[in-house]
Amino acid sequence: MKTPEEQKALTPEAESRMIGLVYGPPVSQEQMRAAMEKAALQTQSMAEQAFMVYGPPNMIPPQNPSAIFQMQGLVPAYTADETPVHWEGDHWICRCGTQNSGKFCTECGAAAPEKPDVWTCECGAENTGKFCMECGRPKQMKSAVTVRAYTESDLPEMLAIWNAVVAAGDAFPQEEPLDAESGAAFFAQQSYTGVAEKDGAVCGLYILHPNNVGRCGHICNASYAVSEACRGQHIGEQLVLDCLSQAKAHGFRILQFNAVVEGNTHARHLYERLGFTQLGTIAGGFRMPDGSYANICPYYREV
């Protein structure tokens, strides 16, 4: 005879059937992801019903995910739009809040989203969609950009680009524009002068030369300029990368920028992303066109 306690106890098979009735059959991670994607496509009204049943997102019991989809066919209390899976730099954030770098979430097993193509608009804003979130401009199709050594035939376009930056007065220390004669001599005397060419036209340039002499002659300096019409297309980055290669090829060991204006955030972010180190801040080191003085931030990197 079984004791009353033994009679009340469920057999393993009965207990398994009971759990299946309450929570539904066990599911694999692929089935879970497929169910979540299907659930995310449900209407907003159903999402609101799910919120009323399950409460806020952090109340969903992760140990019983199949129950969420079995009960009344409702969507979970969070959707892809409310807690999106997104990339932040070289890692991605899962819906469960876990930071990951691999193909699957280490916490819940969700697959990594496709890494978006980040592009910079002419207004300077970084975007991942087809239109700029700041100004509404459409994403421009990228054309091939070639960085090469300049030739004399490039000089008219080079002078226009260089003199436009000089005239702006907020990046280069030079105050006087170059003419055909002085410009030809100036670019020829550099250790290396490179240009960026796009669709048959010069859209940017850089100059490379020693930053000092004698025992510090292995340190070089460079300046970069991109035409106003082509800014925001990562041409400056290509110029800097080519400059680093040419600096090494010309026997330099360190590339140093002496006077990066503190407010030139786009240039500073680019340099820091490429591994340059800021050497500090020189207060009032740059005289602006209005007569005020801005701070400058020297940078350097081994080549």
Same domain, 160 and 260: yes
DSSP 200-240: TEEEEEEEEEESS-GGGTTEEEEEEEE-GGGTTSSHHHHHH
Please check whether residue 240 is in contact with residue 270, taking contact to mean a CB–CB distance below 8 angstroms.
Answer: yes
Question: 3-state class of 106 per DSSP?
Answer: coil
Average pLDDT, the chain: 80
Same domain, 18 and 162: no
Residue 72 in this model has a pLDDT that exceeds 80: no
**Pairing state between β 126-127 and 119-120:** antiparallel
Same domain, 149 and 69: no
Considering the domain boundaries, does residue 252 fall inside one? yes
Q: Please give the pLDDT value at position 18.
A: 59
Q: Which residues contact 258 (CB under 8 A, 6 or more apart)?
A: 211, 221, 296, 298
Q: Please give the pLDDT value at position 275.
A: 95
Of residues 93 and 192, which shows the higher confidence score? 192
Considering the domain boundaries, does residue 25 fall inside one? yes
Longest Cα–Cα distance of the chain, Å, equals: 113
Of residues 13 and 300, which shows the higher confidence score? 300
Residue 32 in this model has a pLDDT that exceeds 50: yes
For 281-287, what is the mean pLDDT?
A: 97
Considering the domain boundaries, does residue 126 fall inside one? no
Q: What are phi and psi of 202, to 5 degrees?
A: -75, 125
Considering the domain boundaries, does residue 287 fall inside one? yes
Residue 83 in this model has a pLDDT that exceeds 70: no
- For residue 303, CA distances in Å to 171, 193, 221 come to 23, 17, 12
**Tokens standing for residue 157:** 């376009």
Considering the domain boundaries, does residue 138 fall inside one? no
pLDDT category of residue 40 using cuts at 50, 70 and 90: low
Residues 147-197: tens digit of each pLDDT: 999 999 999 999 999 999 999 999 999 999 999 999 999 999 999 999 999
> CATH number of the domain that 249 lies in?
3.40.630.30
Same domain, 76 and 161: no
For 18-24, what is the mean pLDDT?
A: 58
| Highest-confidence segment of 62-76, 80-94, 120-134 | 120-134
Q: What domain count does the chain have? A: 2
Residues 243-262: tens digit of each pLDDT: 999 999 999 999 999 999 99
Q: Please give the pLDDT value at position 272.
A: 95
Residue 99 in this model has a pLDDT that exceeds 80: yes
pLDDT category of residue 289 using cuts at 50, 70 and 90: very high
Considering the domain boundaries, does residue 139 fall inside one? no
Considering the domain boundaries, does residue 284 fall inside one? yes
**Pairing state between β 254-261 and 219-226:** parallel
Same domain, 34 and 160: no
Considering the domain boundaries, does residue 196 fall inside one? yes
Same domain, 199 and 278: yes
294: containing domain? 145-302
Residues 106-127: tens digit of each pLDDT: 888 888 877 777 777 767 777 7
Percent of the chain with pLDDT over 90: 50
